[in-house]
Amino acid sequence: MYPLGLVEEQLRLQQERHSLEGLPPAQRGLLVGDVEAAGTPIVLVHGIFDNRSIFTLLRRGLHRRGFGSTYALNYSALTDDVRSVSTRLGGLIDQVCAETGHDRVHVVGHSLGGLVGRYLVQRLGGDDRVHTLVTLGTPHAGTIPARIVPIELARQMRVDSDLIAELAEPAPDCRTRFLAVWSDIDQLVIPQPHARIDHPDLRVRNVLVRGVGHLSLPVDGRVIREIATTLALLDA
């Protein structure tokens, strides 16, 4: 019932902490190479009709590569909109920072979750807390299929929505680093290149993965490796 919005989980810290004890030497490389990168919390934001369980394999892959803690935010597809969920994401990030002692986090958003994270860092000042925002199959320029879904979250993903227009506005002071992963066969982001971020003010690396469906992006091995490699390298 949860993905349909009939039941909504409360906003709370949903964390998985991991220890490197017992891991093979090859899997301890991140901690040895950069303690700060290994300890930076990662917050996961799911798509419109999913919940945090879609990140199970991603969490496992990050654990194997030495990342210490992950958190997840759930929201309802029927009762929320991007702006309100972005505000709640900011609140969760503040809680995570207070609990862990870290000044900043990484955010990984699948599909609509990427728009939630992007709105936070571009429009709500979240770039002071979010070091890197990773988006997976996110309709940054809108998507045509959103026209057939009669709920507010889908309306905000339409090509001509006011939300998409707002995200295209100048953001000269945004400090967050972006990684946008997109697929050439994404069934829900049409046209597929709309999952790229093309914005002159943002530091973005767009990565194309071929032959991966929309719902498979968070579980694809190539995508998980790309995320782990990016998050292992912290810049100034």
Q: What is the pLDDT of residue 33?
A: 46
What is the average per-residue pLDDT within 22-43?
63
Q: What is the pLDDT of residue 21?
A: 55
pTM: predicted TM-score of the whole model, two decimal places: 0.88
Nearest to 176 by CA among 126, 141, 218, 222: 126
Q: What is the pLDDT of residue 134?
A: 98
Could you give the count of Cα atoms lying within 13 Å of 180 in the half-sphere of its Cβ?
24
Could you give the count of Cα atoms lying within 13 Å of 72 in the half-sphere of its Cβ?
19
pLDDT digits (tens, 9 = 90+) for 175-212: 999 999 999 999 999 999 999 999 999 999 999 999 99
CB 139, CB 146: distance < 8 Å? yes
Q: What is the pLDDT of residue 24?
A: 53
Residue 110 scores a pLDDT above 50: yes
The CATH superfamily label for domain 2-231 reads Alpha/Beta hydrolase fold, catalytic domain (3.40.50.1820)
Crossing angle of helices 56-64 and 221-231, in 10° steps, is: 50
CB 118, CB 138: distance < 8 Å? yes
What is the average per-residue pLDDT within 78-82?
84
